[in-house]
Structure formats: structure tokens, C-alpha cells
Amino acid sequence: MKGKKMAGSRRGFLKSGIALLLGSAWGGKFVFAKKVQIPIPGKHPELVILNDRPLNAETPAHLLDEKITPADVLFVRNNGFPPEKVDIASWTLTIGGESARQEKTYTLAELKEKFSHHSYQLTLECGGNGRAEFNPAAKGNQWTTGAVGAPLWTGVRLKDVLEDVGIKADAVYIGYYGSDSHLSGDPDKVVISRGVPIAKAMEEESLIAWAMNGEALPRLNGYPLRLVFGGWPASTSGKWLTKIVVRNKVHDGPKMEGDAYRVPCNPVAPGSKVADEDMCIIESMPVKSLITYPKTGGILKAGQEVEIRGKAWAGDLSVKAVHISVDFGANWQAAQLSPASNRLAWQGWKSRIRLPQQGYYEVWARATDSEGNMQPMVVPGWNPKGYLNNACHRIALKVS
């Protein structure tokens, strides 16, 4: 009886907590394991919830098979609570800071009217994607492979807006602020305020975006306005955007210092304690690939030929090659790699395999970037927060 009571309490906690977070309620069956599958309004029912306060949910690999990631499939990574009410007519974005020549405020309508619109497919990946594989374990959401996606984003170039305001010669960094609320309920506490060096901010593909795949941004992914910096940790791409500051130093907002989104500047032994001053900010993400078809756990007939498909990306770089192995890395075969839609978009790849003998198999995928960097077959570079795991992705197949 005691066990049943505890399970029921857990169900109630999750259901009420997420319903409160999203401002809506739903029914449905709850499935509990290491991760929880509960329907999220506006999202695919197979997204897996890792945390409900704040809401964080990842995407099973097989749902990422499409070239352009659908809005309902894109992962959710929140640090606080999204704004409950959004008034498009009164929403504004203020640009200022000590290295801005002036401070200006734009309405959403003014942004759309004053500046040219641009659309890019840009890859966003949480810096902690793959954290679940680190040993010793790292604190934080235990992402496996699903904190990544590459939708088509539409907005205005950040550099056009910054140039309209004016940038001083001493500009080093930009930082963002959003309208999400802190978990403590304190309205004066900033949830997260990160940013990027001015050179990244001024890239052609760096956007202030209001649309995803031709529709308004989903509420959980930043509606009505957000930054998008392809190829860098998704935490740099601030959501529910209300303010950008141009800094004459590295931005020092919440989650910019200490060990947040930083890794040891030099390799350390697993489990080491690393001083804050020995940690370096994560910038371009490492080369990585994902098998999106078939779904892991598939059963094949002996001699059956099957197509293997997936995606590959490499931060600021491009992907030069993808190889797959069906014998635990003893041999590799080259996959057919498609070009990116534009810079900082992921690339599709495919290959075909035939497994003639019954038994258990794993398909491994390994990408190589344009500078020759290759994915490791084991979890790389332990770090205190479990960032930047780009080990080869594997799926299991059984031949009957």
C-alpha cells in the first residue's frame, strides 16, 4: 500500500507541476522509468520529459529523420518559466549597453518593417546533449541524444539591428535578457543571461527570429521572439527576447560564469574538481552524428537490405564525411553525405547494409568535420557539468 501511495503522489506531482508550468491541463496515461513520457501541449507525444520544473524534454532519434525539424519535434530546454501572457502589439526589444552608441527600443512590428527578413536552417544543440553517458555522472538534465534539431528560422539579422543602433570600437560581447520568470518566483531574479562574442553576433546567419518553419515560434521555444546562433550551445540563443546589451567585456550575466556552459581548459581526470578560473566558455560545438532510421530495436530478416539514414553537424564547421560500422568499429563503410541547406545547417546522410546472419547487431555512425576532426567511439573529455559528449551514436538491430 505504501508503494502504491508513493507512486500516486509522484503522478500527482508531475501532472500538477507540468500543468501549472504550461498553463494548461490534460489527461492521459503516465509511463514512468528513468525518463517520463507525458503529452506536452504543442509537442509530439513521444518527446521524453527529463524535468518538469522547469520543463525540459528531449526528442527520440527516430523523430529527427526529416531534413527540417518540425516545430512539434524540437526539444525543449528551459531554465525558468515561459511568460504566461504575450501581447504581440506591445512586445518590444531594447538594444543598449556600454558599447552601444545609443539605446533604441523596437516593437516587433518595427523590426519586421525596418529590416530585411532572412530565413536559414540552423542547428541548435544543448551543450549538455549526451550528458547521461558521463561517468562519474554529471549533475543536470540527463540528455541522451535528443537535445538537437535544425528547423528553418525566419527573422532579421542581428548585425543589421546592431548596426542601426551603432557599435563602439571597444565592443567585445553581446548579452541577452528574456521575459521568462525565475523558479523562485522572485521577479527581480534573472533566469539566464548569456551571449556570444561580437564576431559571432555579426555573422550573416545570426538571427533575431520570430518564426520557425514559416509559423510563429512555439511558446516553449521562445514565442514571440528569440535569438538563434547556429552551431553554438543552444543556451546562447536566448528565448522570449526583450533586451540585448553590447558589452566592452565578456558578458557576465547568470550562467555565464563559474562552471556553467564551461569545460576545463586542459584535460582533467574523471571526477576531478576544477577551479572556476581553469574553465573555458564553450563556443563552437564538436562534430557529431545521429542515426535517425531505422528506429533502434528493429528486427530484420536474414539477408534483408535496409537503408540507414541520419544527420551530421559540426558547430561552425561543415561535415566532410560520415562512416558507419556494423561490427563494433572493426570495419567502416562510407555513407552518402548531402550538402547543407546553408552554413550552420546539419547534413543528411544515408547508406545501405545487409546482415546475412541471424543475431544481435549494432550500427555505429561516425562523422568527420571539414578540419579532419572525427567523432570518438567512447565518451570524450570528462568535465564537471557533462558537456560536449560527441561519442558515436549506436542503434541495436536484431536479425531473426
70-108 pLDDT, tens digit per residue, is 999 999 999 999 999 999 999 999 999 999 999 999 999
Kindly state whether residues 59 and 95 are assigned to the same domain: no
Give the pLDDT score at 37.
Answer: 65
What is the distance between the alpha carbons of residues 78 and 359, in angstroms, rounded to a whole number? 42
Percent of the chain with pLDDT over 90: 89
Structural contact between residues 175 and 253, judged by C-beta atoms closer than 8 angstroms: yes
Joined together, the cell numbers standing for residue 215 give: 509559423
Q: CATH number, domain at 323? A: 2.60.40.650
Kindly state whether residues 253 and 293 are assigned to the same domain: no
Boundary residue ending a domain (231, 259, 281)? 281
Residue the block writes with cell 506531482: 13
Boundary residue ending a domain (58, 77, 96)? 77
Average pLDDT over residues 324-348: 97
Number of structural domains, the chain? 3
Kindly state whether residues 59 and 118 are assigned to the same domain: no
How many Cα atoms within 13 Å fall on the side-chain side of residue 190?
17
Kindly state whether residues 128 and 199 are assigned to the same domain: yes
Kindly state whether residues 362 and 261 are assigned to the same domain: no
Question: Would residue 298 count as lying in a domain?
Answer: yes
pTM (two decimals): 0.90
Q: How many residues does the chain have?
A: 400
342-391 pLDDT, tens digit per residue, is 999 999 999 999 998 999 999 999 999 999 999 999 999 999 999 999 99
Question: Would residue 217 count as lying in a domain?
Answer: yes
What is the distance between the alpha carbons of residues 201 and 209, in angstroms, rounded to a whole number? 13
What is the distance between the alpha carbons of residues 387 and 383, in angstroms, rounded to a whole number? 7
Indicate the SS3 state at residue 219. Answer: helix
Boundary residue ending a domain (77, 112, 137)? 77
Give the pLDDT score at 356.
Answer: 84
Indicate the SS3 state at residue 156. Answer: strand
Please state the three-class secondary structure of 28-49 as a single string.
CCCEECCCEECCCCCCCCCCEE
What is the distance between the alpha carbons of residues 172 and 177, in angstroms, rounded to a whole number? 17
Q: What residues have CB less than 8 Å from 227, skipping those under 6 apart? A: 158, 176, 206, 207, 208, 209, 236, 237, 238, 241, 244
Kindly state whether residues 119 and 250 are assigned to the same domain: yes
Q: What residues have CB less than 8 Å from 117, skipping those under 6 apart? A: 154, 155, 156
Kindly state whether residues 107 and 210 are assigned to the same domain: yes
Indicate the SS3 state at residue 6. Answer: helix
Kindly state whether residues 55 and 164 are assigned to the same domain: no
Lowest mean pLDDT among 15-19, 57-61, 160-164: 15-19
Joined together, the cell numbers standing for residue 163 give: 548596426
Kindly state whether residues 231 and 93 are assigned to the same domain: yes
Joined together, the cell numbers standing for residue 383 give: 568535465
Joined together, the cell numbers standing for residue 351 give: 547508406
Per-residue confidence band for 39, with pLDDT thresholds at 50, 70 and 90: confident
Host domain of residue 329: 288-399
What is the distance between the alpha carbons of residues 172 and 249, in angstroms, rounded to a whole number? 5
Pairing of strands 173-178, 195-197: antiparallel
CA distances from residue 324 to 51, 65, 146, 374 in whole angstroms, order as listed: 33, 17, 20, 13
Question: Would residue 83 count as lying in a domain?
Answer: no
Kindly state whether residues 265 and 293 are assigned to the same domain: no
Question: Would residue 82 count as lying in a domain?
Answer: no
Q: CATH number, domain at 118? A: 3.90.420.10
Kindly state whether residues 9 and 111 are assigned to the same domain: no
Question: Would residue 349 count as lying in a domain?
Answer: yes
214-265 pLDDT, tens digit per residue, is 999 999 999 999 999 999 999 999 999 999 999 999 999 999 999 999 999 9
Kindly state whether residues 111 and 239 are assigned to the same domain: yes
